[in-house]
Structure 1
């Protein structure tokens, strides 16, 4: 059941109003990761609360999530905003999630314009911090409610909303909220829709049904009680940096092959028909070359590149703490160095299993060095991979809606990064979770000059509303 034409027209006719709503949101510098900006995150929570109340939501509440220590100070966490619109037992209930906090941004970082002033360019770009990640998408849901309410149209589903203010800083407190509310506010949810990701490129809409997880490690090697002079002690003592580099070189090859025994065996085998999904994705090697600004792809094969990015694990070396890195020369032997690396996980890899395999491998390789230095491995944050059924009615509704709004079938994609709340909702509620992006692959979330194209904002709003109508059609 396509969305009513009057709804689609209303969205187009009220473009200026919806852009103004986004401009007001972008103007609030809701940076969650810095003490000086915490008051603005609460200001953004108040903005969302007021907007939802004005739209006639039956239930709107700000839920406290506790405290945190940030920069040595004890701060209140921004509240989660829970709201509902409609409570008809005959309708399906869709839970939508988004976040109202943003990454830091300063004009001096290299922005073309003031980051917290939404600037519309002649080419249609709406530039401003949070425009695409994630204020544009969450306001899209509000635009959908407003359009139906103004036209006197019945929303075809019951809508529950969960908006948080700490996603850019680890979503502190959110998992506890989901667990606490799974049989309360979230009870009766039939499916979840999250719009907090992006198209794979700039031309083809997509639906995302999988995310890689992560296991992050710190490998510390220490020996001397203090830094040493290489001219005095070089060649006569075991050097922590040499040991660390040797161990790091046993983790991964330049072609991306992970060398840790037992890890590859944990990867779920291809399912029937899965390979064809990658073959059908509208993508070329030039897309990734444009994104990286280089011709450094390991493979020139489209399918292999996509699978390496989406459904195969990867190991990346990130840096060495304690090493000399400033300009100039310094003949120091560091007393202690820590190598940082992470592994992106895919089904059926779990962080705890990966930790054991990495620990065993590192201990074995360190023993081969016959060094008198000491080694310590620690796994920091770990997140499980997630994959959903793209043939579920939730995805079929989104695919039909996408084709209706954009005139083309969406790509079915998995992403290389992590959105932990996706798995939290899937595990706690036991329902299908859909990632339905609004923005394009070049929006530059977390980067300078973050933007959301006007066409994506307006068509994206139409898509969110159309998706709800298609959900209702599949339940009839």
Structure 2
């Protein structure tokens, strides 16, 4: 698909050869890590213990590389059902503190989403199974494989008795899939200690947009989640007794939800697009070179037709423009059969994915004002209440920062091509936390291919991605050292 990379020379050649020769060992370690059912989503005591075991394994591995490791005790959390569960520690590890070298901090997580064979897995999700160069197992790509690839790169320098060209720090947590319990507090608390010497932060917790072409990610959308409640009374009504003489709450709510977005996906809230960053010529060019076959993408997603006809338009509306999605209605009758009820109180749920430079509190005001205007025109005696229950800001990086330049060169060295410069349509709060608190450049450097299926059945990472990803990190260390010398 693209040119072969130039053969590496000198130290790089030795590093790459070592990684190739020891790839089965690297796969074996991934197998051991995937075997741990470190599910943080289901609040069950024995699964929590598994995450603790996973964090111990990682701490042990880092210590054997010579890192100083601090496992930060996170105490316990009380869940909505009243039970108390221990929170897994957050690992803060460091290798090297030479003031003449740049310090790169890597963030990853070792907890996973739930997985059961009966959900449609072809193999036991906690037994890494290799078929046609694909390594299947829960956590293989999200995020155990990438965390290990980073460790493999460090251990290769160690094994060859080569000086690490950069200082390396690790932040590894065990509750990312459950909202990163306590992570932001730790980052704030350690800002002037552990993070004080950090120059750059790298996160490898997302995917390429292609099966074969590497990518660098420089932005994610934020998210504002709303509920809108319409209430007539707390009890439901019978439609034979009341139908025809009421302002029905459900009819009000459907009108409100229907006023938010049109059939072309355009958000109808006045002023919502006012602060969206304008498209620059430089940015437009980035979209043209991205490797995405729109027809194949459409077929693989089993979608009849997208709202837009070109690759560029589809990607821009996924990444750099806001979108509004309607998620559900609470209080409505949704069971099988016929039930002639008029719900007395219903709540609609919808969210807006935010992009630079939209402001959370401005969006909240615009949405509330719009729904109040629509509702007032209905002259309904029902009560309406709007609330924004969740607000996470978008994140964007400067693609001309040192580490983006170094990563581009490392990608070219390992893969023989320039990376796709991509954004992510979803929300990855950790990038924003690091950028806001530590005030240093954050880069997302994915290793997984677009079809890895994180969070889904038969999650996998290709052996090629895992091994070449280990080389990529090793090459990246050398490029970063060069740029700082």
Task: State the distance in 2 between where 1:275 and 1:43 align.
Answer: 47
| 1:72-471 equivalences in 2 (<5 Å) | 72-121=82-131, 123-471=132-480
Given that 1:439 and 1:452 are in contact with CA atoms closer than 8 Å, whether structure 2 keeps it comes out as yes
3-state DSSP of counterpart to 1:266: coil
- Listed one character per residue, the Cα deviations across residues 92-111 of structure 1 (whole Å, up to 9, x for unaligned) are 00010001111111111111
* Large movers: runs of 4+ above 6 Å: none
SS at match of 2:66: coil
Following superposition, the deviation at residue 244 of structure 1 comes to: 0.6
- Take 1:125 and 1:299, find their aligned partners in 2: how far apart are those partners? 33
- CA distance in 2 between counterparts of 1:98 and 1:197 reads 11
SS of 2:372 mapped into structure 1: helix
CA distance in 2, matches of 1:432, 1:295: 40
SS at match of 2:387: strand
Mapped contact 1:313–1:346 kept (Cα < 8 A)? yes
**How large is the RMSD of aligned CA atoms in angstroms?**
1.3
Distance 1:319 1:7 in 2: 52
**Aligned residue pairs: how many?**
474
Q: Which of 10, 13, 18 is the aligned partner of 1:5? A: 13
TM-score (norm 1): 0.97
The separation in 2 between residues aligned to 1:330 and 1:202, in whole angstroms, is 48
CA apart distance, 1:291: 4.0
CA deviation after TM superposition for structure 1 residue 287, in Å: 4.1
What is the DSSP-based 3-state SS (H/G/I as helix, E as strand, rest coil) of the residue aligned with 2:274? helix
Tell me the alpha carbon deviations over residues 302-354 of structure 1, each in whole angstroms, 9 at most, x when there is no partner: 21111101100000111111112222222211122111111000000122221
Give the drift of 1:296: 2.1
Deviation for aligned residue 1:87: 1.2
- Residue deviations 1:38-76 (CA, integer Å, cap 9, x gap): 11111111111111111211x101112343222421222
Distance in structure 1 (CA, Å) of the matches to 2:91 and 2:216: 26
Per-residue CA deviation, residues 243-287 of structure 1 (Å, 9 max, x unaligned), is 111000110012110000111101011234111111121223124
Rounded to whole Å, the distance in 2 between the matches of 1:156 and 1:245 is 60
SS class of match (2:57): helix
Q: Is the 8 A contact 1:350 1:385 kept in 2?
A: no
**Residue 31 (structure 1) aligned with residue 39 (structure 2):** yes
**Of 53, 56, 59, the match for 2:66:** 56
Task: Give the 3-state SS of the residue equivalent to 2:171 in structure 1.
Answer: strand
Structure-2 separation of matches of 1:51 and 1:65: 21
Moved more, 195-204 or 281-290: 281-290
Unaligned 5+ segments in structure 1 are none
Asked if the contact 1:65–1:174 (Cα under 8 Å) also holds between the matched residues in 2, the reply is no
Q: Counterpart in 2 of 1:18? A: 26
Asked if the contact 1:191–1:431 (Cα under 8 Å) also holds between the matched residues in 2, the reply is: yes
CA distance in 2, matches of 1:459, 1:264: 41
Q: Contact (CA 8 Å) 1:201, 1:287: kept in 2 or not?
A: no
